[in-house]
Chain A
Amino acid sequence: MTENENTTNDPIIICEDVHKWFDDFHVLKGITTTFKKGERAVICGPSGSGKSTFIRTINRLEEHQRGTIIVDGIELSNDLRNINLIRQEVGMVFQQFNLFPHLTNIKNITLGPIQVRKMPKKAAEEAALALLVRMGIEDQAYKYPAEISGGQQQRVAIARALAMEPKIMLFDEPTSALDPEMISEVLDVMRELAHSGMTMLVVTHEMGFAREVADRVMFFDEGVVIEEAAPADFFDNPQHERTKLFISQTLQH
């Protein structure tokens, strides 16, 4: 693991004592952390630990009920304009891809730039094609999502998020719904993105990816961050009993 030459000292996401409840269920119990510009953070933990909920609060797909979240200098509140501003700066990739099935792949990508960024149609299409080349699937541009494989769909979804030229990318278990032989093609794209200096928050079970790419690994359990460390320390020298158990279980297979 080499030092990430892209990471700066400028904070881009600041979370202070973030709490979230689903009815009576306390999902996030006071998360306090700061992500720096260019940082690559991998978030792991057992299911139900609140890790997905946490990254979904960052672009307000989930509302936090206590504490503050400041993204790129804008505090997340109920102000719709602020929410939309932040969403333009934060790209998101979902476990289930969530491509728009009634639009071709290229239209999936150009919709945001044209409708939100007010980019001319032609420029948006050129940019989308360039992104598809970067994803290695330029020949799938005019097909519909249902006509391509899961791995290709997820790469279209990544291109869709990147087309908005976000400052931050959130990945919510991007490879969990993929067949094993397609996981690597998506991880390759994410690796390339990481090396380009993008700020990335990745919820994943891919420990190999975490070890290789992350600047920091955060371990969630029952709504709190139990342990966070650079990958080398995290995997080779975990402090917490719960972390040790998790690592031994995930590395067993």
Chain B
Amino acid sequence: MENLAITQEVKPPNTSKSPLKWLQDNLFNTWYNTILTCLALVFLFLVFRGVLTWVFTQANWKVVPANLQILMIGPYSIEQVWRIWIVLDTLLVLLGLSAAVWKGLVLRISTVIASIGLIFLLIPLDLVKKIETDPATLEFNLNIVYLIFFKRRWLLGGLVLFGITFFLGRDRNSLRRWVIGGWILSFPWTMIVLHGFGENTISTTNWGGLLLTLILAAVGIAACFPLGVLLALGRRSQLPAIKWVSTIYIETIRGVPLITILFMGSIILPIFIPGDFQLDKVIRAMIALTLFSAAYMAENVRGGLQAIPQGQVEAAQAVGLTYPKTMLFIVLPQALRAVIPAIVGQFISLFKDTSLVSIVGLLDLLGIAKSILGNPKWQGLYVEVYIFIALIYFIFTFAMSFVSRKIEADLGVGKH
């Protein structure tokens, strides 16, 4: 009985506060804090009033729906747009299958990507366009809703396919190797379908807008990661030749601005390549972005490699693992986990850096925005157009950093 007081569980004291109490304690606790709070409120009010008035009364948003198609796909022929949808739907099917067979993290990433698709499905930009041309349609009309979804049937269909493949593929883990194969094949598949052949060829100079931005970013990300890992391992290699080649490569690339490398690829490289052989402009931009990003990726990965204690390598060697297997199973999984934020940061900046290709004449999202602003009809609408493409960049980069946080939380298991 006398031990009761000791064995009783003691709850932590309740320290949560009501909102009112929080305000009182943090914003109005002294006379000078009260004055500062009031001043800040006045300042915020003035700023937001200006911004909101501009957004809702002064801005001319017509420019966005009127140019939506060109912003999304550039000068890509509208009759051939089904090819883009085929590619997108193929990727959504692969994504659905991946989410089904790997679950966990992959499922979350897929959900984020599918949500972006859903956002694009539901943004009523066409409706705005319709209202502009024919104000009578302002009345709610089921017919219009139907028309909009009919126009977006490919996206709708892709999202439905995503759901179906996810549902069908659940718990069929034997499909994994096929899905991996599918992802590897998806790159040539994308290029072939988009490019086409015969008389319906659409040359890469006609790829543009968000489509081109996404292709450049996806290829850059997928290619710079393995290259960066190899360079990082190379820089830490005990073989002097490999070590020096990697180091010189990394330091040279890091010492040069991306725009220089893009100019090298687009203007100087063709001069040195003999004969009629001409490497495609888009491919050259892809290579430049990949080579540039890989150098930074290598340094990020090297940071992770340095964090792995020597004892891990020794333990792996002691059970007889060879160098490649030691790296693959022991060192890299831990090293990469340690630098996920840096790696995703690198991916995000690569995504935004694709906008530099507009300087060497490619019509990516930024390039298209510039060309729209060059049209006398839309003259002077800089802010509207740039805010819109900034919003698109933001949706994608925010999704990437959201996924990064999820990955970190997920891989934290058993780490500490």
Contact = CB atoms under 8 A, between A and B. Distances in A.
B321 A115 contact: yes
B377 interface: no
A144 B329 contact: no
B284 to A, nearest CB: 39
B336 to A, nearest CB: 10
A90 B319 CA distance: 8
Interface residues of A, number: 29
A98 B325 contact: no
Interface stretch (A27-35, A68-76, A99-107, A244-252): A99-107
B416 A146 contact: yes
A164 interface: yes
Contacts of B330: 100
B312 A164 contact: no
B322 interface: yes
Interface in A74-122: 84, 87-88, 90-92, 94, 96, 98-102, 104, 111-112, 115-116
Interface centre among B309, B314, B325, B416 (most CB of A within 10 A): B314
B317 interface: yes
Contacts of B47: none
Contacts of B413: 144
A98 B320 contact: no
Given A101-B334, A102-B337, A147-B414, A116 B319 contact: yes
A146 B320 contact: no
A92 B321 contact: no
B198 interface: no
A61 interface: yes
A61 B317 CA distance: 8
B401 to A, nearest CB: 23
B314 A115 contact: no
B414 A144 contact: yes
Contacts of B334: 100-102
A88 B322 CA distance: 11
A144 B415 CA distance: 8
A111 B314 contact: no
Interface string A144-155: 111100000000
Contacts of B275: none
Given A100-B330, A147-B414, 20 more contacts: A59-B317, A59-B318, A91-B319, A92-B315, A92-B318, A94-B314, A94-B315, A98-B311, A98-B314, A100-B334, A101-B334, A102-B333, A102-B337, A143-B414, A146-B415, A146-B416, A160-B315, A161-B318, A161-B319, A164-B320
6 contacts: A61-B318, A91-B319, A112-B321, A157-B315, A160-B319, A161-B318
Interface of A: 59, 61, 84, 87-88, 90-92, 94, 96, 98-102, 104, 111-112, 115-116, 143-147, 157, 160-161, 164
